[in-house]
Amino acid sequence: MAFYRPAAWQKPLSLALLCALLALPTGLEALGQEFYIGFATRVLIFALAATSLNLVLGFGGMVSLGHAAFFGTGAYVAAICEQAGIAEALLAFPLAMAAAGLLALAVGAISLRTRGVYFIMITLAFAQMAYYLFVSARAWGGDDGLSLSRRMTLAGFSLASDTALFFAALAALTATMLLFGRLADARFGRALQAIRENETRMEALGYPVFRYRLVAFALGGALAGLAGALLANQTGLASPGLLQWTQSGTLLVMVIIGGVGYLYGGVVGAVVLLMLEETLVGFTEHWHIVLGLLLLGVVLFAPRGVAALFGKRHG
């Protein structure tokens, strides 16, 4: 194990990527492919969600099958806010993050007292619990979910246009990657990685391991909540399906494909998976089989994910 250290070309590459993304909507409009702005936004949102899981899983070493609960909670809180008349994202988004983060704090406080297999299953069970809670609440749409009558505004600017929402999502993802990058090199990130590597050793150095994991878990949850709030705005619906444990599985798949513990693992994974979905759907409606086989292949033969194939990890 080594502390995560980005490859030398990561900074220039991410800068270039950011510039490309900033120009993307204009470019797509020029090509008459405005539809893909929505698709790109979706990719950004899931990249954010997967990255939030990467914090918990890749850096924290916690295999959580409950992450969808925080993703979905963010979506629902955003929808509830809009329904209640709070149409300003600068108010609603932090609320969504707070709700998701608090839920993660509660779930983590109980689940993190367990280990290994128990932890995985308990997070799964809690995610299901959140699903049932939201689905049973008729005031929140029940099975059909809660819809938003219109998209929110961000600091007064309406997010109704696809381009505006794209930039909002880009801003959120960029801020998150920045935070993530700093966090990895900061005291917290180092401690977290070391705990992932050898928990007993860290405990014996005086670190309150439980607290570190809990903070990482809650932070990951809050960021997932942000992604959820963005998604609710994009699709106009907070769907209960977002809370199902199978959604956690999808996020997990993204992180694995992209590379667990690599800073951009979540981003790469989301891009790969969503593009795969987009292309395969054209070939066959049973594309899940192809995805499943691919995933099996990755697990059995390339367990470090796509990012590892490019040898991004140093030291």
Partner 1 sequence: MTQLLLEQALNGLQFGLMLFLLAAGLTLVFGIMDCINLAHGSLYMVGAYFVAAAAQAADSFWIGLGAGVAAAAVLGLLLEVALFRRLYQRDHLSQVLATFALILIANEAVRLIWGPAPLMLNPPESLAGPVEIGNFFYPAYRLVIIAFGVAVAALLYLLVAKSRVGMWVRAGAANREMTEALGINVRALFTAVFVFGAALCALAGGLLGPLLAVQVGMGESVLILAFVVIIIGGIGSIRGALVGSLIVGTVDTLGRALLPTLLRAILPADAASTLGPALASILIYLLMAGILFFKPQGLFPSRA
Partner 2 sequence: MAEALLEVRRLARRFAAVDVLKDVNLAVESGEVHGLIGPNGAGKTTFIHHVSGALRPDSGSVHFAGRDVTRLAMHQRVAAGMARSWQITNVFRGLSALDNVALAVQGRADSGSSFRFWRPVKGEAAMFDAAQGYLEQVGLQGKADAVAGNLSHGEQRALELAMALATKPQLLLLDEPMAGTGPEESARMVELIEHLARHVTILLVEHDMDAVFRLADRISVLVNGELVCTGTPEEVMNDAGVRRAYLGDHL
Residue type, 149: S
Closest among 102, 144, 162 to 240, alpha carbons compared: 144
- Out of 10, 188, 235, 236, the residue judged to bind partner 2 by CB under 8 A: 188
Compare residues 12 and 116 and give the one whose CB is closer to partner 1.
Answer: 116
191 binds partner 2 (CB under 8 A): yes
Identified binder of partner 2 from the candidate list 63, 190, 276, 294, rule CB under 8 A: 190
- Check binding of 142 to partner 2 (CB under 8 A): no
Task: Determine if 104 is a binding residue for partner 2 (CB under 8 A).
Answer: no
CA–CA separation, 38 and 161 (whole Å): 10
Residue burial 135-169, b: 16+ Cβ < 10 Å; e: rest: beeeebbeeebbebeebbbbeeeebeebbbbbbbb
Pick from 296, 309, 310, 314: which binds partner 1 (CB under 8 A)? Answer: 296
Look up residue 188 and give its two tokens.
């917290």
What residues does 88 pair with on adjacent strands? 153
84 binding partner 1? (CB under 8 A): no
Among partner 1, partner 2, none, residue 295 binds (CB under 5-8 Å by kind):
partner 1
Number of residues that bind partner 1 (CB under 8 A): 45
How far lies 163's CA from each of 33, 46, 199, in Å? 12, 17, 45
Q: Candidates 49-57, 101-109, 187-195, 284-292: pick the segment binding partner 2 (CB under 8 A).
A: 187-195
The bridge status of strand 237-238 relative to strand 157-158 is: unpaired
Using the minimum distance from each CB to partner 2, give the nearer residue, 207 or 287.
207
| Dihedral angle of Cα 192, 193, 196, 200, to the nearest 10 degrees | -70
299 binds, among partner 1, partner 2, none (CB under 5 to 8 A by kind): partner 1
CB of 312 to partner 1, least distance (A): 19
* Contact status: 105 vs partner 1 (CB under 8 A): no
Stretch that binds partner 2, among 14-22, 102-110, 191-199, 271-279 (CB under 8 A): 191-199
Q: Which two tokens stand for residue 30?
A: 């020029």
276 binds partner 2 (CB under 8 A): no
Q: What is the DSSP secondary structure assignment for residue 149, as one 8-state letter?
A: S
